[in-house]
Amino acid sequence: MDIETELNNAQREAVLTTEGPVLVIAGAGSGKTRTIVYRLAHLVRQGVDPAQILLLTFTRKAAQEMLARAGAILGHPLTGTSGGTFHSFAYATLRRNTSDIGFGNGFTLMDRADCEAVCRDVKETLKLGKGDRSYPKKATLLDMITKSRNKELTIATVMEREAYHLSPYLDDLSAIADGYAVFKKQHALVDYDDLLFLLDTLLADNEPLRNQLRTRYRYIMVDEYQDTNLVQARIVGHLAGERGNVMAVGDDAQSIYAFRGANVANIMDFPKIFEGTKIIRLEKNYRSVQPILDLTNEILSGAAIKFDKHLYSDLKSDVLPQVVYPLSDQTQARLTVEHILDLGRKYALHDVAVLFRAGYQSFPLEVALTRVGLDYQKFGGIRFHEAAHIKDVLALLRLVVNPHDLMAWQRAVEHVKGIGPKTVARIYRAMHTDDAKYMATITKKHDELRELLNELDGLRAMAGRPSAILERILAFYQPILIDKYPDDYPKRQAGLEQLGQIAHNYTDMDQLLGDLSLDGDPDDEKRKENAVVLSTIHSAKGLEWSAVIIIDLVEERFPSRKAMQRPEDLEEERRLMYVACTRAKECLTLFVPSSVYNRQSGISDPTLPSPFVLELPSTVFTPLKESYGGSLEKRWPVDSRPSFGTAAKSAVREQDAQPVQARPAATVNPEKLGFCTHKIFGRGKIIACPAPNKYKVNFPGFGIKTIIGDYLEML
């Protein structure tokens, strides 16, 4: 093991600093795992008993890999080292101390199915939701309870922020949560969340045990510290003490799991909690070429709260990342496919990834890829053709074209209570044998069936474009959507909006159905060969590709509409953008559609580019604007003028501006892109400048406001 030659200076410092608290800020692609592995090996090489080392990770696989690699360096296994997840460590510790946590005869650990069953039983015992078809399912009940506990917020707060459509059931959910806790205690049951909270309480109250564990685990290492929640951070504090030998490794800029309870404050406050913390920054990137890192550094420069870091690489390139401005979200899919085909000449298709903020955003692209015969594999969210609500609507569309489609009939009537597969078959026979008597009887018995049949008759009588027919179907389906999927219908609604936008491009119904129904093989767990990767950014964390394309970089899509209401959520969206860009090794392309089709008005509404794009200085990317002829030209779009971020305060070099035609002057003063105050709304963060002396400001508690600069005081 040659630390001098096999590690860079920052990695070497992290490995050799073994005493006292250490915080390693590991930028994307900076060799974080390598550093942990070498530190494990170094500790043992220096005579530390492996049994005195505790390695906490977020997956068992990660811990096993690190211990195996350290053993390979040493030439023998690290026998005795405790390495695993927070939950596995908690389980083992609690098992040895059952009487101290109120389970003298032991406890049983429940899996997800067990927990859902308990929620269902508690609901039934409390006689809640009887006869209410819209009542939240047991999985949703458990999700709300788990989110509330992991975030350490009330169910009311979680519901207000993430599931407002469930607010009529707030009192019921609170009662079920209380009953769930009582049931577990009465039956000596423990869920995964309990493992952490019971250990936290045990360590806080039991000083002898706390001291015993501190003596045993003299060296503690925690991976992905930015993903810890509040209780996990407290457990680390109990085990290490204020001055213990604890090393936390992570990247504040990659904290993107707040929806699971992760709290970025844990890594930010680490130096405050552990006295005398030494901060070491891993900034050398081994993944991406320097122009990509220049762009990602600019994204980070706009963060309100962060550990300063500047990623750099020995991998050079003369090619800047591209920012493509399609005329609309409709043409974005076509241009993305063309770009993928172009990249396919240089890279294997499985080494090309298209990333997006939410799963539904890839639907138009999935259709476009299918149309040209390009295979793809999707991670995060479900494939367009597999979404249940999309199948529901397509069944109605198929019946407009072909009333003999039995499978479509089965799908179309499954929301009608009291009608199963056998009755559907009987209805099908009656319709095709003109059995008017049976049809009169069955429709009289089922009002919903009569409404469905009348709607289909009306749809078949319609003439016009597929988009008009689909518009009417979506209006008819809306109450069915809410009734059939009460737990998450707002999320599904976004997918239906995309379906409506896809239909806008078609004049032939058969062609539309053909493109929508060409379903490929279901995704495998393993990555396919020669298939483009489509992925949500959350699912892409930890992965890398030679070429990365990010789509829909406009306000209300990325950042999402919900995220723009709270400053801390907007900051997480910035980190999400950083994670997305740092997945690229050689080629990075950002798509910023200039308009989004509005189904209600039938026209395309102009969009405002994502603030993360607006902040980028013109020196770090090449702009490409779609012409009305469909080609791409190297020039700034008129509706998206270059704005200069904090790292671009120096003037743009004259030669950089020369190749760009008709480039308007910058309208955002770099000194004013930051924070401001307003007499009514208070302090806010400026996120964009859509016009001279006009600012879009995010005010906590009030949301996004567009305000004339004269009424703002710049900070």
CA–CA gap between residue 66 and residue 167 (Å, rounded): 45
The strands making up 675-678's β-sheet, listed across from edge to edge, are: 703-708, 694-699, 682-691, 675-678, 713-714
Q: Do the Cβ atoms of 614 and 672 come closer than 8 Å?
A: no
CA–CA gap between residue 440 and residue 449 (Å, rounded): 11
For the chain, helix, strand, coil in percent to 5 are 50, 15, 35
CA–CA gap between residue 530 and residue 95 (Å, rounded): 48
Please report, as a single letter, which amino acid is at residue 254: Q
Identify the CA nearest to 612 among candidates 583, 645, 638: 645
CA–CA gap between residue 274 and residue 543 (Å, rounded): 32
CA–CA gap between residue 581 and residue 534 (Å, rounded): 15
Q: Is 29 annotated as a binding residue?
A: yes
Q: Is 93 annotated as a binding residue?
A: no
Instruction: Give the CA diameter of the chain.
Output: 90
Please report, as a single letter, which amino acid is at residue 402: N
CA–CA gap between residue 570 and residue 559 (Å, rounded): 7
CA–CA gap between residue 392 and residue 451 (Å, rounded): 16
Q: Is 26 annotated as a binding residue?
A: yes
Q: Is 585 annotated as a binding residue?
A: no
The β-bridge partners of 632 are: 626
Q: Do the Cβ atoms of 693 and 708 come closer than 8 Å?
A: yes
Strands (E), 553-626: 584-591, 595-598, 603-606, 622-626
Number of Cβ within 10 Å of residue 278's Cβ equals 16
CA–CA gap between residue 379 and residue 397 (Å, rounded): 27
- Reduced 3-state DSSP string for 230-282: HHHHHHHHHHHCCCCEEEEEECHHHCCCHHHCCCCHHHHCHHHHCCCCEEEEE
CA–CA gap between residue 8 and residue 17 (Å, rounded): 14
Q: Is 674 annotated as a binding residue?
A: no
Interior CA angle at 656 toward 28 and 314, to 5°?
Answer: 30
Tell me whether strands 545-550 and 532-536 are parallel, antiparallel or unpaired.
unpaired
DSSP 528: P
Q: Is 685 annotated as a binding residue?
A: no
The strands making up 22-26's β-sheet, listed across from edge to edge, are: 82-85, 53-57, 219-222, 245-250, 22-26, 278-282
Which residues sit in the known binding site? 26-33
Which residues sit in the known binding site for ATP? 26-33
